[in-house]
Amino acid sequence: MLDIANIKHLNSGECADIYQVDEQTVLKLSKPGWDREMLYQEYVNGKAIANCGILAPQVYDFVEVDQRYGYTMEKLNDVTLLDLIWKHPLKVISYAKKMAEIHVKIHQAIPPNELPSLADKYKKFIGEKSSIDDKVKSQILQEIDTLCCGTNCICHGDFHPINVLVDANRYFVIDWVLATKGQPETDVAGTYLITKVYSSNKKEKNIFKRWINSIGGKLIANAYLRKYISLTGVDKKTIAKWIPIRAATYLDVGLSPEIEKTFRKILSKHYN
């Protein structure tokens, strides 16, 4: 059994801590009080994804440590695509295009049976949001039923530069907890939306980082979208139809008040 008191703590997120087990292995462990279901679903998704040809960390064992849940996985370099954008701001368009290329490869892979249905997951997720008016909620759920048709693909659910790790010039996609089988347009809409509206950190002293977080975010989003459409021929109008739905999925998940305000404006404008 793992003893977290005797292994190195590497990083912390909102819901989990990362520990180094050995030179090749890390442990992702839930924060105290988080339930088992979320980490177990991420474990199942990650294990399935790593076995279907997508560059993602290899996932090993699901564990319980001191009434906390998690799993062990392959240790990678912790440099994200966003770190590279900050380090090389003049290459922002090139990195945005790389994002699109990675996303296309995800959507071209055969979705494993272990992934849940996007329609079912989103309807449950949005249906439980108390901050959305019931009338608006009903409209969103109807639109999900209308738009969820055609061939399913792997949808990451939260694909953006922070969820891409760069190790030895290879790009690994992480954090598969929201992965589903669904329409690629919704995944693209989510990436475009969260990248574009991500607000500037006013406390950030580095001018390039503040630029990337504000103006740069729009450049990344637009360049990413153009490249994705050029590679796939996907209908931009269909992507646009998913924007308000994806705005709803990003509410009440711990984002900044400024971003939530932007997303609520999108809902108000679309569902009036």
Q: Which pLDDT value is given to residue 200?
A: 44
**Given CA atoms 53, 57, 60, 62 in this order, what sign does their dihedral have?**
negative
Across 58-83, average pLDDT: 92
The tokens for 272 are 């009036």
What pLDDT is attached to residue 165? 95
Using alpha carbons, select from 200, 199, 213 the residue that is nearest to residue 259.
Answer: 199
Out of 9-13, 162-166, 180-184, pick the least confident.
9-13
Q: Is the pLDDT of residue 190 over 80?
A: yes
User: What are the strands, taking DSSP E only, across the chain?
Assistant: 8-12, 16-22, 25-30, 59-65, 68-74, 153-155, 164-167, 170-173, 180-182
CA-based R_g, the chain, Å: 19
Task: Give the lowest-confidence range in 168-177, 203-212, 263-272.
Answer: 203-212
Mean pLDDT of the 15-38 span = 89
Say whether pLDDT at 178 is over 60. yes
150 confidence band (pLDDT: 50, 70, 90)? confident
Residue 247, pLDDT above cutoff 60: yes
For the chain, give the mean pLDDT: 89
pLDDT confidence of residue 2: 74
Question: Which pLDDT band holds residue 182 (cuts at 50, 70, 90)?
Answer: very high
